[in-house]
A and B are shown apart, each in its own frame.
Chain A
């Protein structure tokens, strides 16, 4: 099977330019790159058909090897139609992107950026377990889970207004229990209705 060297060189150049162009951020250049890649591939398919021979119309006296291989050309025809449709659609989408954003560049995904910047700490899953609000351990444990000293326990036994550590400050155990209930006085609704 012999191949046309000029076609091969052109094919290589088209692939090189096409790959360079689709790596650009500008959408028009990406489109041009895709068109070059599609055409380079068409040349590649043409090359697989071998040398240019006679048109494949059957006549009795012709040697079968003199004919051209028609199958690659049928494949190229299909591939041209497909790349035509895709190019038309890409042009439409690029125009729409231009109308919406007034720039010819691929935009970043906002949600993607947001997730990337989110710290690994999750307020709901990872927070220190808040003050225990059941009756028994309340006087035994502080907010950080450590034992409250015996003296405090003794004080709690004598003093009905038990105190617990909540973060940096000390607060009354009853208030701490209240804070756990939604809709309590300590919960200030945010502008969108949630808790800030």
Chain B
């Protein structure tokens, strides 16, 4: 009985919670208590999983006793358990934030009773995708989280949300169909969908078939991860959703796509056959995304564009396919989940406090609420990569790995990365200057709540109710918790970077993964193209 026997609980607990909260749909207090309790329990379990594989080691569990490669396998290694812990911590913070918002506004105006079961299903889908050891289970994990996200995206059914929801659903379904086609083709070519088994059998295919399967999987995951030519849907659909929903989408959904890309690149198709196209895609994602962000005046849209842009950094690290590059990318994913989510949560608070999320209407928030200023400033500087924050460390690791590779394309990417970092700083500094520093009188169309005296403005009109607390303690507290987690990623960067590098080395080596799933005495094939640039 290994530690991995408890891994299915990371999926089962949230689903159990979803069932319970659905039964408790008329008792909102019990619903909140159950969902927060079960998510905390899941987080504790995942921390335990991470602690047990911290020093190295890959564990696999066969669901229902079906032996691989036929049955469903869940695999716990350093990368998947790190992703589980970060994603659950972030989801817990967002859940607390959302319940705080629900309690402050009253549950009448939004169907929050539906929110809790759907949210827990989303978490279960994310966990399933991170743990999955076969392609079809990965597809099912994607579908669980996507179906939950469709409901969350259109929560309340207002005009803009339905409009954005339609685009989002159609794009997601098309990408899922592409993924399913890729799975069918992989099965047709090899007769298996177990990833460890595929790692052995794909190596025996001829190069043309292999490239076709590789590209199909990357395109399907690229849509989900919002890599440049396939990122058009994201800034269109994310900003209209409720603030906590946008926050959790921004943090988790695209990263699941990145996670799947990492597994594809390292486990299924090792070697550097598609590294150059990936590098070009990473460069375009970074630069085009951040140029889009500069044109926006709505903070949520601006952050959605920076989200797209910073996906480029992760793809950059992945495309280097060296231990240093992949390790930096792993660290960067953990950093970016935390930071991007906390920025979206702060934007939700800004919207409550200032009445708008447009920098044309906001002003003077630093004076009205210094705490809000601090909550925005720290993750914003972190995102822009100002030393000593984790964003700087992650980018530094990527730059070093890029220079270490030393090809002209890698140097171009390093320059593009620095440029993107500076432009990110410009974008968030614009938000800071306008929303926080200038006087309310200077704004183009300031909200009346900004102009009232500070002592009168602790409460205001929100969601059709008077005297609503503008900054409820639960919402500020959960945001603060996430910002502190972001700072903790900086403080504990040493051990985390060591863990990320070790997990990268294990992923590039592949033998631990394959042997933990298929048994100790399975021969691991040599890398097809001379060591994959290691």
Residues A27 and B166 in contact, CB atoms below 8 Å apart: yes
- The stretch of A110-118, A131-139, A141-149, A157-165 in contact with B is A110-118
Closest-CB distance, A139 to chain B (whole angstroms): 27
Residues A111 and B298 in contact, CB atoms below 8 Å apart: yes
- Mark B426-457 against chain A: 1 for CB-CB distance below 8 A, else 0: 00001000100001011111101001000000
Closest-CB distance, B376 to chain A (whole angstroms): 19
A131 to B183, CA, bound (A): 66
Residues A109 and B163 in contact, CB atoms below 8 Å apart: yes
Residues A89 and B295 in contact, CB atoms below 8 Å apart: no
- Mark A1-41 against chain B: 1 for CB-CB distance below 8 A, else 0: 00000000000000000000010000100100010011001
Residues B136 and A75 in contact, CB atoms below 8 Å apart: yes
Residues A72 and B187 in contact, CB atoms below 8 Å apart: yes
Q: Give the number of chain A interface residues (Cβ < 8 Å).
A: 46
* Residues of chain A in range 68-98 having any CB-CB distance to chain B below 8 Å: 71-72, 75, 78-79, 82, 85-86, 89-90, 93-94, 96-97
On chain B, the residues within 8 Å of A22 by CB distance are 170, 174
Residues A79 and B180 in contact, CB atoms below 8 Å apart: yes
Residues B181 and A44 in contact, CB atoms below 8 Å apart: yes
On chain B, the residues within 8 Å of A195 by CB distance are 441-442, 444
Residue B184 CB within 8 A of the other chain: yes
On chain A, the residues within 8 Å of B442 by CB distance are 182, 195
- The stretch of B147-155, B311-319, B332-340, B511-519 in contact with A is B147-155
* Residues of chain B in range 268-282 having any CB-CB distance to chain A below 8 Å: none
- Mark B141-174 against chain A: 1 for CB-CB distance below 8 A, else 0: 0010001001100100111101111110110011
Given A22-B174, A79-B180, residue A194 in contact with residue B163 (CB < 8 A)? no
Residue A62 CB within 8 A of the other chain: no
A100 to B167, CA, bound (A): 16
* Residues of chain B in range 371-385 having any CB-CB distance to chain A below 8 Å: none
Residue A176 CB within 8 A of the other chain: no
A78's contact among B140, B164, B169, B176, by CB below 8 Å, is which? Answer: B140
Residues A115 and B174 in contact, CB atoms below 8 Å apart: no
Given A45-B180, A193-B445, residue A93 in contact with residue B159 (CB < 8 A)? no
Residues B177 and A41 in contact, CB atoms below 8 Å apart: yes
- Mark A164-192 against chain B: 1 for CB-CB distance below 8 A, else 0: 00000000000000000011000100101
On chain B, the residues within 8 Å of A112 by CB distance are 236
A97's contact among B166, B180, B188, B441, by CB below 8 Å, is which? Answer: B166
A187 to B159, CA, bound (A): 38
On chain B, the residues within 8 Å of A86 by CB distance are 147, 150, 169, 173
Residue A128 CB within 8 A of the other chain: no
On chain B, the residues within 8 Å of A107 by CB distance are 159, 163
Closest 8 CB pairs of A and B: A48-B188, A182-B441, A45-B184, A192-B445, A107-B163, A44-B184, A48-B187, A100-B159
Other A-B pairs beyond A94-B166, A100-B158, A195-B442, 9, CB < 8 Å: A38-B177, A41-B180, A45-B184, A71-B187, A115-B301, A182-B441, A182-B442, A190-B445, A193-B448
